[in-house]
């Protein structure tokens, strides 16, 4: 009889050990390495995430993957196996996020990915159903850019993007949309994020004399091809994706990025956004809180982590109704709750998730912007 009691106590202890005393959230950022300009504001935004949700304390575990996809997988594995996290925010880069999908799906841990490429959630499948994206999908941004090109009467364009999931998916999306609108892509080039000289690619693009050129690259890597094109005498209209939406783009590019057009977050031109926009108040709060903490304004990439906190803040109370933190049941319930997010205003748009759409943004998640006098300006 005593042996049975001991066995029962051990079984109960074992099962209860799976339950966390608090909600545990892992965060993986590239706060060092080639995409640190993206990762640093994301890491800095962790301090602004909710400390309690649904009456439960929240503990964050932050790791740096140094912009390396292999390190991202190791970090995610550590967070799951050692820290028993209920969800993960990150990683910062598109290749990094793509690399960890199999790991988080196998473990059944929701991933809130603050990355550019839509490939992390499209096409939806059994693995990607565990991923939720806190940035605008490429198609949403690309449609706005193509519409602007059509409005200006452009018939020929060039394209240059990074040789990774971000640039490759943009190449596909942009090519498909351009073809539908009768715009011919006369030259396509690619490059590595760490490349410092793009003379060859620039010369090939300039030789084809496109009326406009789109650069598809994240963070500081967006500057290099545009500067190379300027230096080789290109005079056509330059476009960038939302990957270039950071003040460092303006600082690094200087006069060589003047008049660049992009579709991106309203955060870049928050003072020009009407108060009636559903994201104006929350975006302003994030910017002000970040300034108080860090002494300067955040890049939009930081807001993608902040929005992950908003999504979790809405979804966790729902998941708590059916399971305890630290259990597979809680993580599954959290995934379902995230997927059912409706009309949640974030810093950059309104989230309406569905089983097929794990980004959830509509046209309210983008504005057209132009660089004027070295500053972001709402394109009118």
Which residues does 186 contact at the CB level (< 8 Å), separation at least 6?
156, 157, 158, 208, 209, 210
Could you list the pLDDT tens digit for every one of the 380 residues in the chain? 444 444 443 343 333 346 788 999 999 999 999 889 999 999 999 999 999 999 999 999 999 999 999 999 999 999 999 999 999 999 999 999 999 999 999 999 999 999 988 999 999 999 999 999 999 999 999 999 999 999 999 999 999 999 999 999 999 999 999 999 999 999 999 999 989 999 999 999 999 999 999 999 998 899 999 999 999 999 999 999 999 998 999 999 999 999 999 999 999 999 999 999 999 999 999 999 999 999 999 999 999 999 999 999 999 999 999 999 999 999 999 999 999 999 999 999 999 999 999 999 999 999 999 999 999 999 99
Rounded to the nearest 10 degrees, the angle between the axes of helix 280-294 and helix 36-44 is: 90
Residue 41: predicted pLDDT: 96
The DSSP string of 229-292 is HHHTT--SEEEE-GGG-SHHHHHHHGGGGTT-EEEE-GGGGGGGS-TTSTTHHHHHHHHHHHHH
Which residues are 237's β-sheet partners?
212
How far apart are alpha carbons 31 and 323 in whole angstroms? 34
d(CA 130, CA 128): 5
DSSP 3-state assignment of 350? strand
Return the closest-CA partner of residue 222 out of 203, 196, 249, 198.
249
- Tokens in use for 160? 């240059």
pLDDT at position 18, please?
Answer: 63
SS3 content of the chain, % helix, strand, coil (to 5): 50, 20, 35
Rounded to 10 deg, the angle between the 138-151 and 165-180 helix axes is 40
Number of C-beta neighbours around residue 220 at 10 A: 20
Q: Is 38 helix (H, G, I), strand (E, B) or coil?
A: helix
From its phi and psi, is residue 90 left (phi > 0), alpha (psi between -120 and 50) or beta?
left
Report the distance separating Cα 258 and Cα 237, nearest Å: 10
Q: How far separated are the first and last CA of the chain, in Å rounded?
A: 81
Is the peptide bond preceding residue 123 cis, with omega within 30 degrees of 0?
Answer: yes
Domains and CATH numbers, the chain: 2-136+282-362 (3.40.50.2300), 138-264 (3.40.50.2300)
Separation of alpha carbons 265 and 29, rounded Å: 20
pLDDT value at residue 34: 86
How many CB atoms are located within 10 Å of the residue 190 CB?
19
| CA separation, residue 281 to residues 102, 297, 298 (Å) | 37, 16, 16
pLDDT of residue 20: 83
* Residue 271: predicted pLDDT: 96
pLDDT at 255: 98
């Amino acid at each position: 009889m005593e042996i049975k009691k001991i066995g029962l106590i051990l079984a109960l202890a074992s099962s209860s050990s799976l339950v966390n005393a608090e909600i545990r959230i892992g965060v993986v950022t590239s706060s060092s390495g080639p995409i640190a300009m993206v990762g640093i504001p994301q890491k800095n935004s962790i301090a602004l995430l909710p400390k309690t949700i649904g009456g439960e304390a929240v503990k964050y575990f932050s790791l740096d993957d140094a912009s390396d996809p292999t390190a991202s997988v190791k970090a995610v594995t550590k967070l799951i196996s050692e820290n028993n996290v209920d969800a993960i925010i990150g990683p910062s880069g598109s290749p990094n996020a793509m690399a960890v999908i199999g790991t988080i799906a196998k473990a059944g841990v929701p991933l809130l990915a603050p990355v550019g490429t839509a490939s992390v959630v499209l096409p939806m499948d059994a693995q990607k159903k565990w991923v939720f994206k806190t940035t605008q999908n490429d198609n949403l941004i690309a449609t706005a850019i193509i519409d602007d090109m059509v409005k200006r009467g452009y018939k020929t364009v060039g394209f240059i993007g990074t040789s990774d999931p971000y640039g490759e998916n943009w190449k596909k999306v942009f090519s498909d949309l351009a073809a539908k609108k009768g715009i011919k892509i006369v030259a396509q080039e690619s490059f590595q994020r760490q490349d410092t000289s793009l003379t060859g690619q620039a010369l090939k693009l300039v030789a084809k004399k496109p009326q406009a050129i789109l650069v598809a690259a994240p963070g500081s890597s967006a500057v290099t091809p545009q500067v190379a094109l300027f230096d080789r005498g290109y005079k056509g209209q330059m476009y960038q994706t939302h990957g270039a939406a950071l003040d460092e783009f303006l600082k690094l590019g200087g006069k060589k990025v003047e008049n660049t057009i992009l579709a991106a977050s309203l955060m870049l031109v928050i003072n020009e956004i009407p108060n009636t926009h559903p994201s104006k108040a929350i975006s302003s709060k994030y910017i002000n809180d970040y300034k108080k903490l860090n002494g300067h304004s955040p890049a939009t990439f930081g807001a993608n982590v902040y929005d992950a906190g908003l999504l979790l803040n809405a979804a966790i109370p729902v998941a708590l109704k059916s399971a305890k933190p630290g259990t597979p049941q809680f993580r599954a319930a959290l995934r379902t709750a995230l997927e059912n997010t409706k009309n949640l205003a974030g810093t950059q748009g309104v989230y309406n998730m569905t089983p097929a759409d794990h980004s959830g943004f509509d046209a309210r998640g983008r504005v057209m912007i132009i660089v004027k006098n070295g500053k972001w300006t709402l394109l009118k």
